[in-house]
């Protein structure tokens, strides 16, 4: 699916991974992806609409930083896994290139973060776009039912209003 992402959306996803790693998050959440999307230079319209609803990149970063982080020991430790998970990991390790010394494996996406990637595809198709831009990631984030993200964004009413206004702005710009 990543081959259908434009440069802005790809960069947003990479930024989400970096923010999750910096914050020692166990998973990449929709809020991490939103932070990455709002940092993209081609997202002025999205930034303007969300800012009007009190949703800013700096505010999101502050909210994410205030959430409980895992300790360095927990970050370094392996979590307990089943025999099947060990087998799958062993197959992946066998087939993967070794990581450079000191580099950590990528932070996995949460279920809802994966869902927003799917929703972004549907949104791009809805607007008859051939590639998925960061604005469609944002629409996916505003649609996904993720209580933690809704709370960070200011509540369900704010999310619904921001989604409606962003849709109207994108349709007017088309």
Domains by residue range for the chain, with CATH: 2-173 (1.10.1780.10)
Describe the crossing of helices 111-126 and 134-143 by its angle, rounded to 10 degrees.
Answer: 120
H-helix segments, the chain: 7-22, 30-38, 44-52, 57-66, 72-76, 83-95, 111-126, 134-143, 147-153, 156-173
Task: Say how far apart CA 78 and CA 148 lie, in whole Å.
Answer: 25
At 84, the pLDDT band (50, 70, 90 cuts) reads: low
- pTM equals 0.79
Task: Say how far apart CA 98 and CA 120 lie, in whole Å.
Answer: 32
pLDDT one-digit tens code per residue, 139-165: 999 999 888 889 989 999 999 999 999
Q: Lowest-confidence range among 19-23, 101-105, 111-115?
A: 101-105
% residues pLDDT > 90 (the chain): 52
pLDDT one-digit tens code per residue, 6-50: 999 999 999 999 988 888 788 899 999 999 999 999 999 999 999
Region 102-108 average pLDDT: 75
């Amino acid at each position: 699916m990543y081959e259908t992402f434009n440069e802005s959306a790809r960069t947003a996803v990479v930024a989400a991974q970096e923010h999750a790693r910096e914050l020692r998050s166990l998973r990449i959440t929709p809020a991490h992806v939103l932070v990455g999307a709002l940092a993209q230079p081609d997202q002025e319209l999205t930034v303007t609409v969300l800012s009007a609803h009190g949703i800013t990149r700096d505010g999101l970063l502050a909210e994410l930083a205030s959430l409980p982080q895992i300790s360095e020991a927990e970050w370094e430790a392996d979590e307990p896994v089943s025999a099947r998970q060990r087998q799958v990991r062993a197959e992946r390790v066998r087939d993967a290139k070794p990581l450079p010394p000191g580099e950590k494996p990528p932070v996995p996406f949460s279920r809802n973060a994966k869902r927003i990637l799917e929703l972004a595809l549907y949104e791009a198709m809805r607007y008859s776009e051939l590639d998925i831009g960061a604005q469609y990631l944002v629409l996916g984030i505003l649609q996904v039912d993720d209580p933690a993200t809704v709370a960070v964004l200011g509540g369900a009413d704010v999310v619904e209003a921001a989604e409606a206004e962003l849709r109207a702005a994108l349709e007017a710009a088309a």
